[in-house]
Amino acid sequence: MGDASSRASLQTLYREHLALGARFGDDAVVTSYAHEEEGVVQEHGQAVLCDITHAQVLYFAGPDAPAFAHAAFAIEPLSVGACAFGAVLTGDGKVTSIPLLARTGSQEYIALDSTPRASVLDGWLSFLAHVSSDGYAPYAHMQAQDVTAKHVVLSLQGEAAPSVLGDYVGEQTLPIPGHVASVLLDRIPCIVLNVGTYETPSFVIMVPPNAAVVLWRSLLSFTEVAPVGTQTFVRMESRRHPWLARLCDTSDRLDFSREALVRDALIRGTDDFVGARALRSQKEGELQ
């Protein structure tokens, strides 16, 4: 939605990035740092830290939120505490985007999209959330908010990521792969999403803006943690999620075959989500 408060949150770590020799793209997004070079991510089993505060964060809560999530998000229904990437389709079976969805409570969800498709996703989900017919609004008892400005979003991934975060949690436990949890990182209340696997650890950390500088500096105090820009972040994510590159297409209509979406577990096999029947009727093709 791009309001002033959202833009301000992008500036939270601006001076930190300048001190590290950052190169900036649009809206103060760090594309790379002076030290980066191809392959740095794999060296010495280290962890890499990226500021992905440009990601849009949407919040849905209330008695109608589970029904909304079931209709709008095509993946298998999430249990409380689970998270996964899943496709969101329009009525004609086109993909708007493939956000990360997390169920943070029995009636509470957050959706995070760091791709250029985020504004398309936001517009479509806003439309669905407020849809009505003959005076009936199926999601009237749901709160839908853009909460982007309330968080600084960091990505910490690499072999050393679990041990680094482990130093902060004390007797708490980090979420296992495919799960989300509220965790205190040195007394800083954070939402931590484990979006990797045991073999390829990857965490998304949602931090209160007033504590972001402290946590950023603390994480970089580990010798095994190196900062990277969004170019390296996208390259790493694309290795694990081949469909990510296609989401850089900002057109309003994005075609994926049903076969490809099922193969990558981005949709479920039933026809009870928006766009399912239209997608099934389309000619099957290959995910490029």
Tens digit of each residue's pLDDT, the chain (288 residues): 445 445 556 789 999 999 999 999 987 899 999 888 655 554 446 899 999 999 999 999 999 999 999 999 999 999 999 999 999 999 999 999 999 999 999 999 999 999 999 999 999 999 999 998 888 999 999 999 999 999 999 999 999 999 999 999 988 999 999 999 999 999 999 999 999 999 999 999 999 999 999 999 999 999 999 999 999 999 889 888 988 888 876 666 678 889 889 999 999 999 999 999 998 887 544 443
Number of domains composing the chain: 2
CA distance 50 to 152: 11
Task: Establish if 247 belongs to a structural domain.
Answer: no
Nearest to 101 by CA among 120, 126, 76: 76
Task: Report how far residue 22's alpha carbon sits from residue 29's, in angstroms, rounded to the nearest whole number.
Answer: 9
Tell me the C-alpha to C-alpha distance, in Å, between residue 85 and each of 48, 63, 97, 122: 21, 23, 10, 16
Q: Is residue 46 part of a domain?
A: yes
Domain hosting 165: range is 15-53+151-240
Distance CA 157, CA 49 (A): 7
Residue 66 lies in a domain: yes
70 and 136 housed in the same domain = yes
Task: Confirm whether 96 is domain-assigned.
Answer: yes
- Domain CATH number, residue 78: 3.30.70.1400
Residue 248 lies in a domain: no
Q: What is the DSSP letter of 247?
A: G
Residue 287 lies in a domain: no
Q: Do residues 82 and 223 share a domain?
A: no
- The answer to whether 100 and 195 are in contact (CB under 8 A) is yes
Residues 142 and 261 grouped into a single domain: yes
Q: Kindly state whether residue 250 falls inside one of the protein's structural domains.
A: no
Q: Are residues 127 and 233 in the same domain?
A: no
**Residue 71 included in any domain:** yes
Q: How far apart are CA 44 and CA 46, in angstroms?
A: 5
Measured between alpha carbons, how far is 283 from 115 in angstroms, rounded to an integer? 27
Nearest to 275 by CA among 83, 90, 133: 90
| 156 and 144 part of one domain | no
Note whether 45 and 156 are same-domain residues: yes
Do 213 and 227 belong together in one domain?
yes
Bridging pattern class, strands 225-227 and 47-51: parallel
Token pair recorded at residue 280:
């099934």
Which pair of structure tokens corresponds to residue 205?
């950390």
